[in-house]
Amino acid sequence: MIAAEKWYEQQVRYQKYGIDMKPVQERIRQEKPKTGTAALSAKDKLRMLMLTVLFGALFIGFIAVTAYSAKIQYDINKMMEDSKVLQGEIQNLDVKIKSATNIQIIEEKAVARLGMVYPSMSEVIYIQADTEPAGNFAMALKEQAYN
């Protein structure tokens, strides 16, 4: 027992300096059960695949809709340009119509191309509102014009 007493005395001396001489027992580590994050089941893999395919199809749909709307916008812009060109042509034709229906231009063409002249004073017939011609008015005008 002497050895045990010496051992106890040494232990007390070491405890003065803060050292514990007792043998350290190994702690038993308890392993946590795995939650399954590392291993995916076949059902989970199928779900992931389906989600990936669904999102892929959704994004392809977005791209197709964007491309279609860009094409429609291009067509609209093209039609607007064509409309501006046609509006310019319409304005040019309106100017030509107004210039062609101008009384001075009509008079110049009648004199130059058709050889028309103004009637003399003897060829002018005045109609008064209070006198009505006898019989057919058109026939009376025709007779006076050719006689």
Give the sign of the dihedral formed by CA 81, CA 82, CA 83, CA 84: positive
Q: How far apart are CA 51 and CA 100, in angstroms?
A: 73
The encoded tokens of residue 126 equal 């005045």
User: Torsion over CA of 6, 9, 13 and 15, rounded to 10 degrees?
Assistant: 120
pLDDT digit string (tens) for 40-97?
889 999 999 999 999 999 999 999 999 999 999 999 999 999 999 999 999 999 999 9
Give SS3 for 39: coil
- pLDDT-derived band at 15, boundaries 50, 70, 90: confident
User: Which pTM was predicted?
Assistant: 0.42
Which residue carries 């977005």 as its tokens?
62
